[in-house]
Amino acid sequence: MGNLQVSVIIPTYNRPVALAELLGALVEQTFQHFEVIIVNDAGQEVDSVAALYPELDIRVIDLQENHYHVYARNQGIKAAKGSYIMFMDDDDLPLPSHMERMVNGLKSAELVYSDVEIVDYEETETKRIPLNHYLFAYEYDLQAMRQFSTYVPSGSMYKKEIHDQVGRLDEEMRNYWDWDFFLRVAEGFRVERIPVASVLYGFSLEGNNQSKNLDNMRFYLNRLSKKHDLGYLPTKNFYLLLEEPSVKQRESESERIWDGEMPPSRYVR
């Protein structure tokens, strides 16, 4: 492929419909100098889904035991050949210009992230149908981010060399691995928010999102708070933050580019 710059790391667990849509979205990227590392966290096989997109440079790492998604991401980071890392959850989608915008952003920063559209879907046997979507776009304010993080890791991109100083993702943080990583990076590196909603962040109001189980999140939020001296924090997910008063004060203008269409998927049952 040549000129490999980015390693897209996708942990996955039993979401073939969404994974196929994500790979379809990667095919449509205006920037194409990347590899895709799918880390299957001991779920159903995904080689057949990957095979539907032969034009992509895909490697599948099959874990023999389910270790949770933070461990899976670390395995992807270890295997990455690109100079830049881009995280993608298996149920999130980058819009066509997303990677190009992120790569351009890294000319002046070490980590960049975009705004997102939070999308609620209805899933059929072969595709997801968007029901509602909400803009999630907030000014980057590091002090405010210590109370409520508005960093969405899906679609964020950073220079892989960051890990030489901050280490890998902290598997002890579980639900809050992204907030922890963000705070560690922001302490010593330049972080920039790109004001465009170029990622579709899947959040099903009916489904089984990890971030919906707020009781289970409490233990890990306390652990995060102790590690970074954040004080007491309420458990919130991105959907709940939409109505959080102190977060609403940080609402920001953002370029909304989604036309409501989903990427073409080649998945068939």
Q: Residues 93-138: pLDDT tens digits? A: 999 999 999 999 999 999 999 999 999 999 999 999 999 999 999 9
pTM above 0.75, yes or no: yes
8 Å CB contact between 234 and 189? no
Within 10 angstroms of residue 249's Cβ, the number of other Cβ atoms is 11
Per-residue model confidence as pLDDT tens digits over 228-269 = 999 998 888 888 888 889 999 999 999 999 999 999 999 998
Helix (H, G, I), strand (E, B) or coil at 159: strand
For 40, 47, 108, 128, the CA distances from 123, given in Å and listed in that order, are: 21, 21, 39, 4
Quote the tokens at residue 21. 């849509």
Just give the CATH number of 6-256: 3.90.550.10
Per-residue confidence (pLDDT) for residue 206, from 0 to 100 = 62
Of the candidates 200, 239, 236, 217, which has an alpha carbon nearest to the alpha carbon of residue 89? Answer: 200
Average pLDDT over residues 1-24: 91
Average pLDDT over residues 167-171: 97
Average pLDDT over residues 6-29: 98
Per-residue confidence (pLDDT) for residue 2, from 0 to 100 = 47
- The DSSP output letter for 31 is -
Tell me the domain boundaries of the chain: 6-256
DSSP E strand boundaries for the chain: 6-12, 34-40, 58-62, 84-87, 93-94, 111-123, 128-136, 157-159, 191-202, 255-256
Average pLDDT over residues 79-89: 98
CA dist., res. 49 & res. 29, Å (int): 19
Quote the tokens at residue 144. 């405010």
CA dist., res. 217 & res. 224, Å (int): 11
* Rama region for 156: left / alpha / beta (φ>0; ψ in -120 to 50; rest): beta
Average pLDDT over residues 76-90: 98
CA dist., res. 96 & res. 94, Å (int): 6
Quote the tokens at residue 127. 């595709």
Per-residue confidence (pLDDT) for residue 3, from 0 to 100 = 65
Would you call 118 exposed, middle or buried from its count of C-beta atoms within 10 A (0-12, 13-18, 19+)? buried
> pLDDT tier at 216 (50, 70, 90 boundaries)?
confident
